[in-house]
Amino acid sequence: MIGNASGPDSLMALAAELGEACVDRGWRIVCGGLGGVMRAVGEGARRSARASGGDVVGLLPTLDPSTANPFVDVAIPTGLQHGRNTLVVSSGDVVVALGGGAGTLSELALAWQMDKPIVALTGEPGWAATLAGQALDHRRSDRIHEAATVDEAVDRVAELLKKSPNAWAAFSKGGTPKD
């Protein structure tokens, strides 16, 4: 999950809904582990009836694990600052973006170059909505997948996991790419 480090309440509510829906499906979440969308996704994940600890992995920019938001179950201090964006997008089977400033833009570009499927929620302004439905360049024949709602986003992620030869089912707790 990638998105704004801060933003309006409407964006945070959308992020929380997304976090809860993903854990409801039995998926784990990798994020940057700090505030804003990262915190809201974790808060939503914690609300899921399937929440069980270990649901949210936070890849922190510093070496200080205490910087993780309280909803991160597994905090990994990288010491890489913005370089940790590479780890965030490379660690997931599908990258889901909402809102988004410059950090999210860098993560979208990295995910594109890594050939990661990308789903962009369009309900809030930011790079996710701006780039939804677009190809970033000629390297790929697909586009960034557009989703207007959280339900559409998680359905799209499920479809992409079924198609992905690299989907890491072990990262799902009891779910499979077919869920």
pLDDT tens-digit profile of 92-110? 999 999 999 999 999 999 9
Architecture of the CATH domain 2-161: 3-Layer(aba) Sandwich (3.40)
Look up residue 86 and give its two tokens: 């590479």
User: Does residue 178 surpass a pLDDT of 70?
Assistant: no
Residue 167 pLDDT: 57
pLDDT in tens, 24-42: 999 999 999 999 999 999 9
Sheet holding 95-98, edge to edge: 2-3, 95-98, 118-121, 145-147
pLDDT of residue 166: 60
SS3 152: helix
Write down the pLDDT at residue 168. 52
Cβ count near 10 (within 10 Å): 11
Beta bridge partners of 58: 31, 75
Confidence at 164, pLDDT banded by 50, 70, 90:
confident
Per-residue pLDDT, averaged over 144-163, amounts to: 96
- CA-nearest of 67, 90, 89, 69 to 77 is 67
pLDDT score for 155: 98
